[in-house]
Structure 1
């Protein structure tokens, strides 16, 4: 009788251990599949990449919309040390239409920069992957290697479209790289990414509240450089900067002030004419770094749009000019070199571009003119998002190279003043190696940092100061305010 009563227990115990073993096997298989998936994106070595130091890097496509065949291209670098502990930092470039690969990764803050007129790569000793795991994504579709199989998608691209695709990218990228899903996550970018970044942050923040429906992303904050934020303040600052830095005459300045009401969505013909004159004055110099030399190569890419290219309704000048700081001197023609490198068949093969099943090379450009021209500008100001996310406790910084004429520090200061935040630390100098690196001012919920002598692309123009800045932001260690 006792032996008979033990039989069901033995059967139950057997079933229990069988189920445990089965679940273990299933989980192991799932983990192996995940491991294989991201390992397929590993870059062993890029053509003419320096042999040292060793760089752990991945690239490939994340599908963000299966029905339309939409996919975004990414390039990811693990942190140089302690990648399992350091935060994940997403970087976005703006335009709209400019590549985060061509700017952020290959020229500004990635560990590998295009050098020697596109013939090779060089190691960047000031890369931000010293401080974080660094993720670059080409967004929106049509930028760089990112694509869609539905041509009508290009009619719908606006800030909301970009935010949704970027959010879907993040969710699916973290599924491919699950080892980073619990890391502290920050979003960064520059120029028109001043729109992208806070809107993606808001979307992540809101969906984090619906954990029964959406996966949780450990968002901690965002940092933006020379960011387009509010059309009124940005263009008011642009005009005042041009006048205060001797780019335009008193007469040109007064004419534009009389003609333009930047609060209007649609500019008058008189305003368009006056602002065209302002941008014409920048033809002789680089609006993105007013004290730097301009590129004189006849065949260099001129940018996604001329800064004087206005429609009859509104000036839509969100482009970039090309500049690069290289050892031994300043080379403003770097975009030509980047395009030369990324259009090589061996480079595209190493980056897994051929995973799309394409033969030959894909035509890659630093900026896509058609994306810029077809973009639907539907958001006048992202300041309401700042107000909302400041209240929610996100860590928010804004930095500004003070030699940028396109999105000048004057406009950014107007934007921050409009938030009417309580002051914590008054305007003061911060230092790098006993020299003034710039100025900073801290408010409750937001910090503004200027970088002395930098243009629109701060990590390019002032790499040491930019690295000190991102270290301070991510680590919480204050920038030095004394020599």
Structure 2
């Protein structure tokens, strides 16, 4: 621990730069305009921050500032999970970013529910090897894990704050989903310890974090997934009983009988979109270049399940990579939504995040956990089981909250943590319920309970 603190202190000293060099670096990272982008009233920056010199590991970021009062609004870091999936391909391009990509990957259009109306949004592709983030040491792709990711995300923030000193001491929040259920609280803990070590006004002024449909505890997440599938008529009584009998979910390895039970559950699911069980799936045609675009009209918002394919097209365009300062060589960079080499070779993964939640609720951070209620992969049932083990006193009992004159979901406020569901949303909450997600964000940033009425 002492060695880590020494490294961080040396890093802070070495990364301190003059205002003139910071301005120069910001100018180099400024995005003049993205190809096919509509005119906007906010600034954008993107580029690289080196987090390990000896291995050549550099993380890629994209900052979309707020179109109004950007100099006073908080900074929000968004992280996607996987592990190994892109925060730009998912968070920025499908969920909370200011732009959406059209079907041909040729143009961008505005997202009217973008979160940068409320905060300056910093998207980070982490760890190295994900999205545009890279390493010069190929073996790093098979050696990623929770601890190194958290440590290098902290190093990124320290060095990034040196490049953008206007965000030092600014109210700072972290939000993420899925396996970012590990990234977010682990990084929050690193920042908390870092701030305590310096015993002064924190440069990284962490106020709180929010996790959506996040991995929280492997036992309860897996048990909750079985409960969710059965309670939503996706698996038979027989298979559910078999899972409960043969699967303890207390370790990463499972018995043969448990594997058979899970195999039958998989067969019974069918080809449903597990991340949003009532939504259509994107079906590839035989030539693998066209898609059958199922449609789902959610009130006034039309959900398109094929948006991932549009991101693959757009971010592999050389002109897009040049505009984002992402293609640093003359060789076109192969961008993918998820790096499966990173995913399949993940080294250390904490079994439970609950000890970190206990530590950080005691530290006084604002902590919200939310669940889209149509996600069968990391479902609301598992999250509720895990949260119940924290044994937090109830501050405000369960009640329905409202958005756009409809029930947006349900919530309960505990001492030190708020839990909320988002009605009709899947694994990526802002995809299917963007307005409800924006209501959630506004309440979180304001430190207020979700609306009780419309």
In the superposition, the TM-score normalised over structure 1's length comes to: 0.86
1:265 Cα deviation after fit: 3.4
Question: Contact conserved, 1:111 with 1:127, CA < 8 A, in 2?
Answer: yes
Structure 2 Cα separation of the partners of residues 324 and 364 of structure 1: 28
Q: Matches of 1:418 and 1:328 in 2, distance apart?
A: 37
1:222–1:323: structure 2 CA closer, same or farther, 3 Å change rule?
farther
Structure 2 residue corresponding to 1:182, chosen from 158, 165, 169: 169
Greater mean alpha carbon deviation, residues 277-286 or residues 242-251: 277-286
Cα contact 1:207–1:214 (8 A) shared by 2: no
For residue 364 of structure 2, the aligned residue among 389, 393, 400 is: 393
User: Who is 1:471 aligned against?
Assistant: 442
Aligned partners of 2:179 and 2:149: how far apart in 1?
12
- Once the two structures are TM-superposed, the CA of residue 369 in structure 1 deviates from its matched residue by 1.2
Q: CA deviation at 1:480?
A: 1.3
Q: CA separation in 2, counterparts of 1:268 and 1:84?
A: 55
Which is higher, the Rg of structure 1 or of structure 2? 1
Tell me what 1:23 maps to.
none
3-state SS of 2:450 partner: coil
Q: Which residue of 2 aligns with 1:480?
A: 451
Question: Which residue of 88, 91, 110 corresponds with 1:101?
Answer: 88
Aligned mate of 2:191, from 195, 198, 204: 204
Q: Is the CA contact 1:243–1:249 (under 8 Å) kept in the aligned structure 2?
A: yes
Figure out how many residues of one structure are paired with residues of the other and give that number.
432
Q: 1:48-67 counterparts in 2 under 5 A?
A: 48-51=36-39, 53-67=40-54
Matching residue of 1:275? 262
Which residue in the other structure is 2:406 paired with? 435
Kindly provide the CA deviation profile for residues 353-399 of structure 1, in whole angstroms up to 9, marking residues without a partner as x: 13x3x113100011111111011243100100000000010000001
2:6 maps to none
Equivalent in the alignment of 1:45 = 33
1:333 to 306, 310, 320: 306
**Is 1:349 aligned with 2:322?**
yes
5 Å matches for 1:10-49?
Answer: 30-49=18-37
Computed over aligned residues only, the root mean square deviation of the Cα atoms, in angstroms, reads 2.0
Alpha-carbon distance in structure 2 between the residues aligned to 1:241 and 1:323: 25
- The C-alpha deviation readout for 1:2-28, integer Å capped at 9, x for no partner, is xxxxxxxxxxxxxxxxxxxxxxxxxxx
Unaligned runs of 5+ in 1: 1-28, 302-321
| Contact 1:114 1:337 (C-alpha < 8 Å) held by counterparts | yes
**Corresponding residue number in structure 1 for 2:416:** 445
Task: Work out whether residues 373 and 425 of structure 2, in 8 Å CA contact, stay in contact via their aligned partners in 1.
Answer: yes
- What TM-score results when the alignment is normalised by the length of structure 2? 0.91
> C-alpha distance in 1, partners of 2:295/2:53?
37
Alignment CA distance shift 1:413-1:39 (3 Å):
same
| Partner residue, 2:427 | 456
C-alpha spacing 1:175/1:219, structure 2 compared with 1 (3 Å): same
